[in-house]
Amino acid sequence: MTMLKKTLMATAACVAMLCGSAAGAQTQQAPSTVHGHAQDPAGAPIAGATVKLTTDKSTDAKDRKYPFSAPTDAQGNYTVKGLTPGDYVAILFKGDVQADYQMVTLKAGDDKTVDFDMTREEYMKSLTPEQRKEIEEYKKKNASVSSANAVINRLNATLKTVRADLAAAAPTKGDVSADVASMKEAVAAKADVGLLWLTYGDTLQAQGDHLAAEDKKAGKAAMSDPDVLQNYNDAADAYTKGIALDGQGAKPNPLEQAIGNNQLGNSLAKLGKVSEASAAFEAASRVDPTKAGMYYNNEAAILFNSGQTDAALAAADKAIAADPNRPDPYFIKGQALIGKSTMDPKTQKLTAPPGCVEAYNKFLELAPNDPKAPEVREVLTSLGEKIDTTFKAKKK
């Protein structure tokens, strides 16, 4: 082999070695990731801040460039991806203010947790006594708010459960003693909330209805049962308390007050306190005129059932004026007037007072399938009135 050939071969080998070295230098290293959580000195998450990273530690802070950054979310969490290996300073910015920093060294492919925990002893020692005092006061206030919110959350859950129980128990007048106990605890925990007292009243009244139904099955007089009376009395007291609290609040709720007065009227009626019940239904009608037809109807019913026909007639007329399409007030009006019928001494024919027949006919028009409809037809027939066939019960 000639000298020239040996030289060329050596050169080729050298080139090959250089090329191999260059290929190794161009191999990309796996990127790194930094993630973590930021919380302030009071332990609350820092949302809306920015975490910035740089390997430049010598440049003045105001001139420093940050090639990597990520925001903190609502929970104070952040993630920065695509970092190259190196020694970094990670800085937490709140706006333009550097709130905290951490040193971090990353190798290729690292996934490191870097938290900005301002409750740490090192950070707290860097604060002035005034700042530390302010933080302690904030913590106490925040703990108080958190405790109050926890109570409210529990009470809302209780209300949801109790309302569902009451709805399920209503058709069969089931036992709701557990719900009575739950609401008793609720009003004890937050005695200044009208809604809680109103719902407590609902549970007491429902339990009174349950016990009264059980007495009826056993052939006992419900009104001689002290437990029944106690539940209805306690319900009336709870409704009264709830209505008063709502009225005293910064934003009284007319709907709640009307419902409370209507329920109060029902409890008082069950206790035989008719005049007080009547006043409660009147109050409900004033507070919520949109449902006055229902409230006046309830008043008319309890007055009629107690034998106060003239007062029942007046309440029925109010119910009709408020809601002309509600059938029951017409029935009550007809019943109140039929008792004032007179007998013609010559013809021996029964004559109903003005408005009676019209009320009965309107009832049949609005509720031809009502269980009371056959009774109304018999009364009209006895009066010699021709019944409009269009009011006959419709086939199901």
Residue 59, class by beta-carbon neighbours within 10 Å (0-12 exposed, 13-18 middle, 19+ buried)?
exposed
Q: Which residues pair with 103 in a beta bridge?
A: 89
In angstroms, rounded to a whole number, what is the distance separating the alpha carbons of residues 85 and 311? 91
Q: Which of 323, 316, 264 is nearest to 290 (CA)?
A: 323
pTM (predicted TM-score): 0.65
The pLDDT, as a whole number, for residue 113 is: 96
Contacts of 49 (CB under 8 A, 6+ apart): 38, 71, 72, 76, 92, 93, 94, 99
Return the number of other C-beta atoms located less than 10 Å from residue 237's C-beta. 16
Q: Are 345 and 381 in contact (CB under 8 A)?
A: no
Query: Tens digit of pLDDT per residue, the chain (396 long)?
Result: 444 344 334 444 434 443 444 444 445 789 999 999 999 888 889 999 999 999 998 888 888 899 999 999 999 999 999 999 999 999 999 998 888 999 999 999 999 999 999 888 888 888 888 888 887 887 777 776 667 778 788 999 999 999 999 999 999 999 999 999 999 999 999 999 999 999 999 999 999 999 999 999 999 998 899 999 999 999 999 999 999 999 998 888 999 999 999 999 999 999 999 999 999 999 999 999 999 999 999 999 999 999 999 999 999 999 999 999 999 999 999 999 999 998 878 777 888 999 999 999 999 999 999 999 999 999 999 888 877 656 555 554
Q: What is the pLDDT of residue 389?
A: 59
- The answer to whether the CB of 52 falls within 8 A of the CB of 129 is no
C-alpha pair distances (Å), 363 with each of 64, 191, 192, 279, 356 = 87, 45, 44, 26, 11
Q: How far apart are CA 336 and CA 93, in angstroms?
A: 80
pLDDT digits (tens, 9 = 90+) for 218-276: 999 988 999 999 999 999 999 999 999 999 988 889 999 999 999 999 999 999 999 99
In the chain, what are the domains?
Answer: 32-126 (2.60.40.1120), 137-252 (no CATH), 327-396 (no CATH)
What whole-number distance in Å separates Cα of residue 195 and Cα of residue 215? Answer: 30
Torsion over CA of 100, 105, 107 and 108, rounded to 10 degrees? 30
Residue that the structure tokens 């071969």 belong to: 9
C-alpha to C-alpha distance for 237 and 259, rounded to whole angstroms: 15
What's the sign of the alpha-carbon dihedral 368, 370, 376, 381? positive
SS (H, E, C) the chain: CCHHHHHHHHHHHHHHHHHHHHHHHCCCCCCEEEEEEEECCCCCECCCCEEEEECCCCCCHHHCCCCEEEECCCCCEEEEEEECCEEEEEEEEECCEEEEEEEEEECCCCEEECCEECCCHHHHHCCCHHHHHHHHHHHHHHHHHHHHHHHHHHHHHHHHHHHHHHHHHHHHCCCCHHHHHHHHHHHHHCCCCHHHHHHHHHHHHHHHHHHHHHHHHCCCCHHHCHHHHHHHHHHHHHHHHHHHHHHHCCCCCHHHHHHHHHHHHHHHHHCCCHHHHHHHHHHHHHHCHHHHHHHHHHHHHHHHHCCCHHHHHHHHHHHHHHCCCCCHHHHHHHHHHHCCCEECCCCCCEECCCCHHHHHHHHHHHCCCCCCHHHHHHHHHHCCCCCCHHHCCCCC
> Which of 234, 245, 154 lies closest to 192 in space, CA to CA?
245
